Every structure is written in C-alpha cells, then in structure tokens.
Amino acid sequence: MKAKLIDGKAVAEQINGETAAGVARLKNEHKLQPGLAVVLIGDDPASQTYVNMKSKKSAELGIHSEKRILPKETTQQEVLSIIEELNNDKRINGILVQSPPPPHIDEDAIINAIRPEKDVDCFHPENVGRMLNGEEDGFMPCTPYGVMMLLKYSGINPDGKHAVILGRSNIVGKPMMALLVQKTKGANATVTVCHSRTQNIAHYTKQADILIAAIGKPEFVKADMVKEGVIVIDVGMNRVKDASHPKGFRNTGDVDFKNVSEKASYITPVPGGVGPMTIATLMRNTLKACMIQNKIR
C-alpha cells in the first residue's frame, strides 16, 4: 500500500485527551462539569449500542451524562416535554436525540425544539445557518467536524486544494461543503459537490486533491476514478454480503480501499477512519457548549 493510513482511532484518542483536559480544567477552575443528555425513543439495538457508547465515553472524559430511554410508543408531545425539561436543566449543556426516531415522531420538530446552544449535534437550522455563514463560535455537526479534524491532525491543509464531495445529505455532504469552503484557517478549499444527478462523476473525482465519499454505495470509488496522490476520506459504512466472514457480511466504505490506497497519498480505513471521530467531536461539542453557556473562553 502506497498511501499513509489516517488512523481515526488515534486522532480520536488525541482529541478525547484534549477534551478530558478541558473538562478537568473546568472542574478545577470553575467547579463546572459539562453534561450531555441522550434521548432514545424505542428499542432499536443499533441505536442502543450508539447511546451506550456515548454514555461510556462521557464517563471516561469526566462528562456528566444522562440517558433518557423512552418506550417506542412515546408521543410527540411527551418527547417535546422531555426536551423542554432538558432545555431548562442547568446540569445539561448538550442534548441529542438518537436518530432515527420511530416513524410517528416528527424528527424535525424535535430538533427544532432543542435550544440551539444545547444542540451539540448541530442539526438545529439556526446552528446550520450559523455554520454556513462561517460564524466560528457555533457548533459543527459531528461527522463533518470529524473529517475536518482528521485533515488537521494529519497535517493536511485544504487551503487552495480542490475538495470533491460525493453526496449531498444534510448530515454529511452539505455541511462538509459549508465547512470546507469557508474563508478560515483549515478550510479555504475550492469545493465541488457531486450527487445522484451528476453526469460523469469520474470527471470530477479525477480532479480531486481531497476526495470525501459519503454516498452510501459500497466501494463505489475505484482506482481509475482518482488521480495519483489524492487524499481520500471515506465516510461510507455499508454492510455487504460476504460468505467468507463468520457473520456472513462485512462492513465497507464507499471507496475500493484495496486499489485506491495504491494511488492515494492518504486514506482513511473503514472501519477505523471517520467512525471513531464522531463521538470525539460530540464530546468536544459538549465541552464547548458548557463553556459557551457559562461564558468561559
């Protein structure tokens, strides 16, 4: 393999170390402890796992955390009252509602009910708008923020580079575009966004200095679609059938890692690339929320 591997676990650990130090400083200097509330509606096993991972990581870093596990028949109004209670709870600086909620719940309405300064997922429209406007004292959504941190900690400066983003979801593609295009240190990329309606996608991927794949198609990006030396960030996480694996499937990204890694200069593995970053950036946002709410610089 030619490419340097971008080790998401190692970067996440470094960021978590910094977060833990920040949390300790808040405790010592201000007698404050950041608090995160995670709301889970229903009993989806994957969601339960994520919620538990978030609680565990909070505990490790010294962050107070609360799980609100609600039965799947909880009404919209009941969820909204719990959000309102958490909005007014001084121990809680960050609130997130594990996605996806059951179908009878209007997820947008729930997100809109979270007070923007506690919206550590950065899904509230006010925070999304502040991000697009380039306000630096706001939040960044966890996955795109994780990608920005992977670049930064790998010594990659997007300034003047051509970043090509595959995918235009509200969770990854669009905020990724918003973050990379900003006139600010660590951004300043020329940005192209490709998606399902793009004609001749390889025409764009071949131009990428930085290629960010977030389209949910297993191993979509092939070696002949990229140029020598490209930096590849693979946000995909797809389950594909594989009889040779004990479980009958394996997880793979949106990039044909085996072949693309022979041309790339840097590449993230899947798993172990972007994945571990999302909890690290959530913890970082929770710390930031506590500092903002308590007017600490």
Q: Which residues bind its own copies (CB under 8 A)?
A: 124-135, 159-160, 162, 168, 170, 174-175, 177-178, 181-183, 188-199, 204
Annotated active-site residue 121? The verdict is yes
Annotated active-site residue 242? The verdict is no
Residues 231 and 210 sit within 8 Å (Cβ to Cβ): yes
Q: Which of 54, 57, 161, 288 is catalytic?
A: 54
Tokens of 184: 């600010």
Least spacing, CB of residue 141 vs its own copies, in Å? 11
Least spacing, CB of residue 187 vs its own copies, in Å? 9
The answer to whether the peptide bond before residue 158 is cis (omega within 30 degrees of 0) is no
Least spacing, CB of residue 122 vs its own copies, in Å? 10
> Quick one: 7 or 117, whose CB is closer to its own copies?
117
Q: Which of 10, 239, 288, 19 is nearest to 138 (CA)?
A: 288
Q: Which of 57, 118, 119, 121 is catalytic?
A: 121
> Quick one: 17 or 129, whose CB is closer to its own copies?
129
Q: Which of 101, 130, 38, 289 is nearest to 110 (CA)?
A: 101
Task: Quote helix, strand, coil % in the chain, to nearest 5.
Answer: 40, 15, 40
H helix or E strand, kind and range, residue 180 = helix 173-181
> Quick one: 81 or 170, whose CB is closer to its own copies?
170
Measure the CA–CA gap between 273 and 290, rounded to whole angstroms: 28
> Quick one: 33 or 207, whose CB is closer to its own copies?
207
Least spacing, CB of residue 293 vs its own copies, in Å? 17
Annotated active-site positions, please? Answer: 54, 98, 121
